[in-house]
């Protein structure tokens, strides 16, 4: 008997478990909840494992009209945050026999070009992180489900959204600095037209409103060198020197720290610096960076789970994911306190 003939089938699993083939399909297709008891599901999985059964994915996909492939579109591959989002999405996808193709938009925040001759023929859905839905029109057309991560909830076009509580993250930063005694702020803002950075700017302005503190905004490209130049300009401009630089992300914060040192000042004795994201970079700079930790892997996990729910006709989980301020050595009371 050749190897192909000896390969166990779903009928063999059904016979071993004492159930129907339909029940085997429900359990191994992860669609058994509410239809099959947990005991039966466990029995089917144990029988399949003991027999060495593996489903014929090609045949099943043809039957379902699916490729079991999702496309994850990100603005760039150079940012660690998006790599962690992919890790989370791929982990959930693997549990459901899905694959995830990672695709950086060639033009940053969009529009993204179709990476295939026709993505709609090669994909079951699209997950997009920190991009605008309209930037994805070429890829998804009108009939491919789209899950947006870290995006404007008021914009139409998405079947589901997964957002972080960015506003609360900036409030945590502001509360921390105000409690230390800071009243002269510079917001080192990312020069990127993106919902996520707009939220951070609004939250900072609202948190400082009515406190008597002053804030000035300086924009910078998302590069260490550009951030260093922008921060140096802010620190040497007219008027009293700011005592706190609030940065839209850790890359900008690294540039701000370099600017402080090159001016002969110290972090945090003369100027406090905060970041956002909690990248590996935050623990590599000296002093280590006070920043907002974003659960990037969880964003990817929730995004892939949302796409699977949409494909199955279920309601995805809602609510924003919480973020956490991590206080390290780059913040301290301002000089004179």
pTM score of the predicted model: 0.76
110 sits in the region (left: phi over 0; alpha: psi -120 to 50; else beta) called left
pLDDT of residue 57: 46
CA–CA distance from 21 to each of 15, 46, 95, 289 (Å)? 8, 15, 21, 57
| Domains of the chain, start order | 3-55 (1.10.260.40), 65-163+296-319 (3.40.50.2300), 166-293 (3.40.50.2300)
Rg (CA), the chain: 25
C-alpha 188, offset from chain centre: 22
Residue with tokens 């910078």: 220
pLDDT of residue 108: 53
pLDDT tens, per residue, the chain with 337 residues:
344 446 788 888 889 989 988 888 888 877 777 888 888 988 988 888 888 876 654 444 444 446 788 989 888 778 899 999 999 999 999 998 899 988 887 555 555 555 555 555 578 888 988 776 556 666 655 567 889 999 888 887 788 999 999 999 999 999 999 999 999 999 999 998 888 999 999 999 999 998 999 999 999 999 999 999 999 999 998 889 999 999 999 999 999 999 999 999 999 999 999 999 999 999 999 999 999 999 999 999 999 999 999 988 888 988 899 999 999 999 999 997 6
pLDDT of residue 169: 97
């Amino acid at each position: 008997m050749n190897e192909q003939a000896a390969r166990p089938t779903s009928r063999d699993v059904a016979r071993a478990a004492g159930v129907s083939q339909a029940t085997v399909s429900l359990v191994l297709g992860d669609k058994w909840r509410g239809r099959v008891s947990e005991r039966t599901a466990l029995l089917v999985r144990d029988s399949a494992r003991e027999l060495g059964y593996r489903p014929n994915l090609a045949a099943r996909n043809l039957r379902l009209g699916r490729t079991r492939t999702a496309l994850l579109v990100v603005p760039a591959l150079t940012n660690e945050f998006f790599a962690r989002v992919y890790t989370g999405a791929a982990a959930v996808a693997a549990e459901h026999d899905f694959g995830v193709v990672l695709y950086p938009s060639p033009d940053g925040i969009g529009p993204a070009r179709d990476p295939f001759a026709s993505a709609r023929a090669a994909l079951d859905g699209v997950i997009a992180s920190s991009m605008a839905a309209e930037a994805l029109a070429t890829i998804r057309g009108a009939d491919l489900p789209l899950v947006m991560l870290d995006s404007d909830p008021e914009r139409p076009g998405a079947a589901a959204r997964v957002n972080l509580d960015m506003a609360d993250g900036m409030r945590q930063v502001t509360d921390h600095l105000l409690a230390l005694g800071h009243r002269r702020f510079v917001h080192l803002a990312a020069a990127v037209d993106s919902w996520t950075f707009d939220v951070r700017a609004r939250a900072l302005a609202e948190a400082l409103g009515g406190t008597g503190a002053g804030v000035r905004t300086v924009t910078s490209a998302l590069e260490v060198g550009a951030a260093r130049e922008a921060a140096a300009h802010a620190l040497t401009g007219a008027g009293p020197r700011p005592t706190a630089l609030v940065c839209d992300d850790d890359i900008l914060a690294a540039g701000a720290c370099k600017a402080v040192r090159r001016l002969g000042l110290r972090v945090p004795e003369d100027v406090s610096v905060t970041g956002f994201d909690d990248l590996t970079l935050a623990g590599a700079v000296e002093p280590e960076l006070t920043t907002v930790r974003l659960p990037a892997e969880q964003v990817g996990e929730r995004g892939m789970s949302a796409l699977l729910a949409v494909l199955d006709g279920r309601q995805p989980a809602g609510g924003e994911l919480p973020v956490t301020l991590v206080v390290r050595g780059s913040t301290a009371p301002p000089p004179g306190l």
